């Protein structure tokens, strides 16, 4: 047992180590825990070089006054991050924030579940923040009725985006909404100068013309992600009279744009793109491999990585010949290497991801898991699609005889396949004996409702 002189306590830790520990906690929680503990912790917390990160998910009404009066306002010059997780919390703190908004050191603000009305007020004050580099917003629109409130189905973000574009030093913005109809028709406005934005994540549905109008004002943009789709809309697509020469990465998911319109859009936004990711819910819309190859060759001489994702049922309706043509269109002229990733979710949808990269990339397609096996042709397609497969896992195979299924995999699989896993929730003990006697697997074991097989090749 250590002598009393050699015993160590929590307070024996160095100041540097305490500050590393503090980084894992919300500063308001640290203040409540340590501010009145002793002189040393008071000095640690209120050292002028220590910066506060506020991440508050809940405050009782009785704590609002203490939070604002004793902590938020007195320390506003030392706060670098402000994350308020509840809309009612934002409402309660709004008067204190807007009336004393001289947060000179704030670099990032996160406001989930905030209404448009409140955000408009806050954005007017955010213009005064000299170091606000990152903004993360999740917007809802609430319509009041006599019986209460409910979420509306339409959200116009014009005023929001115009205010964001005016923030003087903002580098990154993420703006989200779960509403299906979200619009931000930003008109050409001479009062909005070129924005400082370099990274934009749009996590709500948008229309192509709205996106074009937004991009007109972001000449420094380097990375753009549209997570919930770009729709064509009823109006004709606008002409693009600008070029985003700094744009190097573009990701667009769930787009319903026709390929020819998408070609026009890509061809005009800038030629320095290095990464292009397209995730499309419609296989037909990304099917023309020759047109994709022309789009990439014509518009992006510096492109290093192109990925294409789509959902498709891997059954007898799947056209493997056309899919192979899609792949060959990228390899025939430029010898680009191909990576294919296949996943299937619990709703029986299969997602194919096609990645085209420069010649110094070595493709590795090794692992496939299928949640629902419809027929043996589906498995055969997997083997053709992934000739370098090393691991195959089948979850629901109830439509097929188990012995026939294993025999098919053993006989038809590529020589690269090493491991084969089958879900077996009933434990077919007699079949396990057949496996041992009929096929010489290197390993046969049953564990956690699964049969694990290692092929002897």
Rounded CA Rg of the chain: 28
The reported pLDDT for the residue numbered 197 is: 96
> In the predicted model, what is the mean pLDDT of residues 377-381?
83
Q: Are 268 and 240 in contact (CB under 8 A)?
A: yes
Domain extent at residue 450: 365-456
- What is the tens place of the pLDDT at every residue in 135-157? 999 887 654 433 444 444 456 78
Whether 278 maps to a domain, the answer reads: no
| 296 or 93: which leads in pLDDT | 296
What is the enclosing helix (H) or strand (E) of 122? Answer: helix 116-126
In-domain check, residue 357: no
> pLDDT value at position 145?
39
Return the structure tokens found at 249: 């990465």
Helices and strands counted in the chain (H then E): 14, 23
Instruction: Tell me: pLDDT of 343 over 70.
Output: no
| Inside any domain, residue 114 | no
Helix H or strand E encompassing 389: none
Q: Is the pLDDT of residue 256 over 80?
A: no
Structure tokens given for 253? 């998911």
The closest of 384, 385, 306 to 340, measured between CA atoms, is 385
**Using CA atoms, how far apart are residues 22 and 259, in angstroms rounded to an integer?**
51
Lookup result for tokens 């990339």: 361
Per-residue confidence (pLDDT) for residue 150, from 0 to 100: 44
Question: Do residues 103 and 79 touch, judged by C-beta distance below 8 A?
Answer: yes
Count other C-beta atoms under 10 Å from residue 152's C-beta: 13
Q: How far is CA 62 from the centre of its chain?
A: 37
**DSSP for residue 319:** -
The confidence score (pLDDT) of residue 46 equals: 80
In 3-state terms the chain splits into helix, strand, coil percentages (rounded to 5) of: 35, 25, 40
The whole-number pLDDT of residue 362 equals 45
Coil vs helix vs strand at 346: coil
* Backbone dihedral angles phi then psi of residue 138, each to the nearest 5 degrees: -125, 110
The total domain count for the chain is 1
């Amino acid at each position: 047992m250590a002598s009393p002189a050699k015993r160590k306590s929590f307070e024996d830790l160095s100041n540097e180590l305490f500050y590393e520990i503090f980084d894992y906690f919300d500063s308001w929680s640290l203040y409540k825990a340590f501010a009145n503990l002793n002189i040393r912790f008071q000095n640690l917390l209120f050292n002028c070089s220590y910066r506060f990160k506020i991440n508050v998910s809940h405050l009782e009404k009785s704590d609002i006054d203490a939070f604002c009066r004793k902590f938020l306002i007195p320390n506003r010059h030392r706060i670098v991050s402000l994350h308020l997780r509840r809309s009612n919390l934002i409402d309660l703190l709004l008067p204190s924030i807007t009336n004393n908004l001289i947060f000179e050191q704030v670099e990032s603000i996160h406001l989930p579940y905030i209404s448009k009305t409140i955000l408009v007020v806050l954005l007017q004050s955010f213009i005064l923040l000299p170091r606000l580099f990152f903004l993360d917003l999740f917007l809802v629109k609430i319509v009041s009725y006599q019986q209460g409130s409910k979420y509306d189905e339409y959200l116009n973000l014009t005023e929001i985006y115009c205010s964001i574009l005016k923030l003087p030093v903002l580098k990154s913005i993420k703006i989200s909404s779960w509403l299906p109809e979200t619009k931000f028709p930003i008109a050409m406005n001479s009062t909005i100068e070129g924005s400082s934005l370099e990274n934009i994540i749009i996590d709500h549905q948008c229309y192509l013309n709205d996106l074009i109008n937004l991009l007109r004002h972001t000449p420094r943009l380097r990375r753009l992600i549209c997570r919930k789709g770009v729709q064509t809309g009823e109006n004709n697509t606008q002409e693009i009279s600008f070029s985003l020469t700094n744009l190097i990465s573009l990701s667009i998911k769930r787009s319903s744009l026709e390929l020819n319109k998408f070609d026009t859009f890509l061809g005009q936004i800038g030629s320095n793109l290095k990464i292009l990711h397209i995730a499309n819910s419609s296989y037909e819309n990304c099917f023309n491999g020759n047109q994709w190859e022309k789009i990439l060759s014509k518009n992006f001489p510096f492109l290093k990585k192109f990925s294409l994702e789509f959902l498709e049922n891997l059954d007898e309706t799947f056209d493997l010949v056309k899919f192979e043509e899609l792949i060959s269109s990228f390899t025939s002229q430029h010898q680009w290497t191909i990576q294919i990733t296949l996943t299937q979710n619990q709703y029986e949808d299969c997602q194919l991801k096609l990645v085209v990269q420069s010649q110094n990339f070595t493709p590795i397609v090794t692992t496939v898991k299928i949640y629902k096996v419809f027929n043996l042709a589906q498995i055969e397609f997997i083997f053709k699609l992934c000739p370098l497969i090393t691991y195959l896992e089948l979850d629901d195979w109830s439509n097929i005889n188990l012995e026939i299924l294993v025999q098919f995999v053993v006989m038809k699989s590529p020589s690269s396949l090493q491991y084969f896993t089958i879900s077996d929730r009933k434990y077919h003990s007699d079949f396990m004996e057949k496996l041992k006697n009929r096929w010489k697997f290197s390993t046969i074991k049953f564990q956690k409702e699964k049969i694990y097989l290692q092929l002897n090749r």
